[in-house]
């Protein structure tokens, strides 16, 4: 009606509009908050889904070979790097195969730990970490130095193993990537097995004494009792001297400071009167790549099979054995030269020169017999190894039992001369060592009451022959060379036989071994040498008792050696299981 207040309708509309606007604003703000709340409540789920999706993608790529865990290994067992007098470098090469494509990196890195053992002695070790792994195939060189201070320890194990080198290269390669991959790599090799080049060369040099060395002596120098069984009809002299039928050498014992060799001589008396069986002097030397590795002189040998006063009657034979102990202080110097390409015959090669001479003193006439007569017997040979040299086999021409040529002899024995031009002294001084009646260094006469008037002319160095125009002593003979086409039969070798009281059991397992059933056609086995296959030292004797402390399969070997140096082996396998 007209009674209504003007403007009231307008104010009511405005209030309604304001309320409507406020409600709309409230609804809009609530919607934003609602959507934000929903988003906040689902983001962990979405991230989780994303991670799962990424892993699924990587898994698919891995299974299809597009990406993958890198693999690694050793390219070879190693190589010799820089080798000088100051260092011996060993370079080990590691290969890596990373299948991941360029641009895709999973943070790969390589860690390598490696070591090299020879005969159970660690001679090199190294480690390198955080090595970058590129895509595809690649190699990485790892460098370390030979542990020279370990070489004397290795030499002990080398000799005890009959000069066999057991090489073990071990590496642990760890690749850190999407997953950590670890791989252990082992490379094993046996080198110079059954070759024995060093003692073989010394054996051949000892056999270089083989021959007959005699001299005529006036009968008035002997008592009637000595000449009682000698036919002196029409003769005023008798024959005195020695015949070496065979010589050889074996190792006896070894430590980090010393190596002891046993010299074996089969000595026959071809004369009319008894002669001493015990040597009066000896000279032994082994040069390897011009390094005087070993040297034993007159005052460094010990009698084994005979006593000082033992005599060899005419026509009889004795096995004379004695030991010579030599220092090991040049082993590392030799080994460095062995692996150098510019030393000796080449890389990992050694030229061996073994020299030997033995001296006997005939007490009645005062004659000194030096065997060989002109100069030390010298035997030269070579051997090569393949410790870290690829594509090569080990080889040696060092052999036992050869009768080496003696410079200047031409098959004839020579004798030194005394001041008056006589021929009282047969041979030369071994290794320049002092002998009765001589000075230690220059060979001038030193009267001692037993060899008066005798002048010994010594070689100026071992292996250097005296002039060959010396006078041959009356009655001195040497073996007659075998005519061409005439075969000299070799003595038959021995036969080794080894038995054990048990061949299997739990550790620790004690086993008794018996080689007494071994035989020899001549009935003169002189040495039984055992190795047990468990890294322990060698032992000598026909019977042995040995305990195996750990589980494993072991090959026990006996080597029997007769008086001619020939040998045979037999083995028994022992299986040791782990104890309960």
Residues 449-459: what's their mean pLDDT?
27
- Distance separating alpha carbons of residues 532 and 23, to the nearest angstrom: 101
Average per-residue pLDDT for the chain: 74
Q: Detail the DSSP E strand segments found in 157-305.
A: 165-176, 181-191, 211-218, 237-254, 258-268, 275-276, 281-288, 291-296, 301-303
Task: Check pLDDT > 50 for residue 478.
Answer: no
Residue 510: per-residue pLDDT: 92
Q: Where exactly are the structural domains of the chain?
A: 19-66, 71-191, 197-227+236-432, 499-577
Pick the residue with more confidence: 190 or 235? 190
b/e code 67-87 from CB counts within 10 Å (16+ = b): bbbbebebeebbebbebeeee
Q: Is the pLDDT of residue 224 over 80?
A: no
Percent of the chain with pLDDT over 90: 26
Q: Is residue 87 over pLDDT 70? A: yes
Q: Is 328 a residue whose pLDDT tops 90?
A: no
Q: Tell me, what's the pLDDT at 484?
A: 43
- Residue in 378, 413, 404, 369 with CA at minimum distance from that of residue 242: 369
* pLDDT interval class at 36 (50, 70, 90): low
pLDDT value of residue 351: 95
Strand partners, 509: 548
Residue 33 pLDDT: 58
Chain Cα centroid distance, residue 439? 38
- Mean pLDDT on 275-299: 89
The beta strands (E) that lie in 390-466 are given as 395-396, 425-426
C-alpha to C-alpha distance for 249 and 200, rounded to whole angstroms: 8
The model scores a pTM over 0.85? no
Of residues 179 and 578, which shows the higher confidence score?
578
- The answer to whether residue 439 scores a pLDDT higher than 80 is no
Q: What angle do CA 251, 257, 258 make, to 5 degrees?
A: 30
Q: What is the pLDDT of residue 411?
A: 30
Reported as a single tens digit per residue, the pLDDT across 518-558 is: 888 877 788 899 999 988 888 888 889 999 988 888 999 99
Q: State the pLDDT at residue 216.
A: 87
- Range with lowest mean pLDDT among 22-36, 134-148, 368-382: 22-36
* Confidence check: pLDDT of 491 > 70: no
Question: Would you state the pLDDT for residue 270?
Answer: 93
The residue that leads in pLDDT, 176 or 561, is: 561
Which of the pair, 28 or 78, is modelled with greater confidence?
A: 78
Above pLDDT 70, what percent of the chain? 67
Q: What pLDDT is attached to residue 62? A: 52
Q: Once rounded to an integer, what is the mean pLDDT over residues 493-497?
A: 89
Convert the pLDDT of each residue in 346-395 to its tens digit.
Answer: 899 999 999 999 999 988 888 899 999 888 999 999 999 998 888 888 88
The more confidently predicted of residues 354 and 328 is 354
The C-alpha atoms of residue 456 and residue 442 are separated, in whole angstroms, by 9
How many CB atoms within 10 Å of residue 116?
25
91, two tokens: 């370079």
Does domain 197-227+236-432 fall under CATH 2.60.40.10? My reply is yes
| pLDDT number for residue 354 | 95
State the pLDDT at residue 526: 84
Q: Is residue 471 very low, low, confident or very high in pLDDT (cuts 50, 70, 90)?
A: very low
105-114, 225-234, 496-505, range with greatest mean pLDDT = 496-505
pLDDT digits (tens, 9 = 90+) for 98-122: 776 643 444 567 788 888 999 999 9
In the prediction, which pLDDT does 85 show? 76
**In the predicted structure, residue 299 carries a pLDDT above the cut 80:** no
Tell me what the mean pLDDT of segment 509-526 comes to.
Answer: 86
Q: CA separation (Å) from 550 to 78, 251, 338, 348?
A: 31, 28, 35, 35
- Reported as a single tens digit per residue, the pLDDT across 230-264 is 766 667 788 889 999 999 898 888 888 989 898 99
The structural architecture, per CATH, of the domain 71-191 is Sandwich (2.60)
> Is it true that domain 499-577 has CATH number 2.60.40.10?
yes
Nearest CA-CA partner of 373 in 242, 488, 232: 242
Instruction: Reply yes or no on whether the pLDDT at 577 is more than 60.
Output: yes
Helix (H) or strand (E) holding 378: strand 377-384
Alpha-carbon separation of residue 74 from 83, 107, 181 (angstroms):
22, 22, 15
Q: Residue 63 pLDDT more than 90?
A: no
């Amino acid at each position: 009606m007209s009674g209504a207040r003007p403007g009231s309708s307008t104010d009511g509309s405005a209030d309604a509009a304001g309320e409507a606007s406020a409600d709309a604003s409230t609804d809009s703000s609530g919607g934003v908050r609602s959507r934000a709340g929903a988003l906040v409540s689902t983001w962990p789920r979405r991230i989780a889904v994303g991670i799962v999706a990424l892993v699924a993608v990587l898994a698919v790529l891995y299974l299809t070979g597009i990406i993958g865990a890198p693999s690694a290994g050793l390219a070879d067992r190693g190589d010799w790097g820089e080798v000088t007098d100051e260092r011996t470098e060993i370079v080990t090469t590691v290969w890596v195969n990373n299948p991941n494509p360029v641009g895709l990196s999973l943070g790969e890195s390589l860690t390598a730990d490696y070591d090299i053992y020879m005969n159970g002695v660690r001679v090199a070790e190294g480690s390198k970490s955080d090595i970058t792994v590129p895509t595809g195939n690649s190699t990485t060189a790892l460098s370390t130095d030979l542990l020279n201070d370990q070489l004397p320890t290795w030499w002990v194990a080398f000799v005890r193993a009959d000069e066999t080198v057991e090489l073990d290269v071990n590496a642990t390669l760890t690749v850190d990537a999407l997953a950590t991959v670890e791989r252990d790599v082992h490379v094993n090799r046996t080198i110079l097995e059954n070759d024995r080049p060093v003692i073989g060369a010394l054996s051949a040099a000892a056999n270089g004494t083989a021959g007959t060395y005699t001299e005529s002596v006036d009968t008035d120098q002997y008592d009637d009792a000595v000449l009682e069984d000698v036919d002196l009809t029409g003769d005023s002299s008798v024959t005195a001297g020695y015949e070496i039928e065979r010589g050889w050498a074996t190792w006896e014992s070894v430590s980090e400071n010393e190596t002891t060799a046993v010299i074996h001589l089969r000595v026959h008396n071809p004369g009319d009167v008894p002669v001493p069986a015990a040597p009066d002097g000896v000279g032994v030397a082994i040069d390897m790549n011009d390094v005087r590795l070993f040297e034993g002189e007159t005052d460094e040998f010990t009698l084994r099979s005979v006593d000082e006063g033992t005599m060899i009657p005419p026509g009889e034979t004795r096995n004379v054995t004695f030991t010579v102990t030599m220092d090991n202080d040049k082993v590392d110097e030799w080994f460095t030269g062995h692996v150098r390409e510019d030393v000796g015959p080449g890389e990992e090669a050694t030229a061996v020169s073994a020299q030997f001479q033995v001296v006997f003193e005939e007490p009645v006439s005062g004659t000194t017999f030096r065997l060989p007569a002109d100069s030390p017997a010298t035997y030269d040979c070579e051997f090569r190894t393949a410790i870290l040299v690829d594509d090569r086999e080990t080889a040696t021409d060092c052999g036992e039992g050869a009768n080496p040529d003696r410079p200047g002899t031409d098959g004839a024995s020579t004798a030194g001369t005394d001041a008056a031009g006589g021929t009282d002294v047969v041979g030369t001084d071994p290794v320049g060592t002092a002998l009765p009646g001589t000075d230690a260094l220059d060979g001038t006469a030193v009267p001692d009451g037993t060899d008066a008037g005798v002048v010994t002319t010594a070689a100026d160095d071992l292996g250097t022959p005296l002039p060959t125009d010396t006078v041959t002593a009356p009655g001195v003979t040497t073996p007659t060379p075998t005519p061409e086409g005439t075969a000299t039969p070799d003595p038959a070798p021995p036969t080794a036989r080894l038995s054990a009281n048990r061949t299997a059991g739990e550790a620790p397992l004690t086993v008794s071994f018996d080689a007494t059933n071994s035989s020899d056609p001549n009935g003169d086995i002189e040495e039984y040498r055992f190795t047990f296959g468990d890294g322990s030292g060698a032992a000598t004797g026909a019977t042995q008792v040995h305990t195996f402390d750990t589980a494993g399969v072991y090959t026990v070997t006996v080597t029997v050696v007769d008086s001619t140096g020939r040998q045979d082996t037999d083995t028994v396998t022992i299986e040791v299981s782990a104890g309960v």
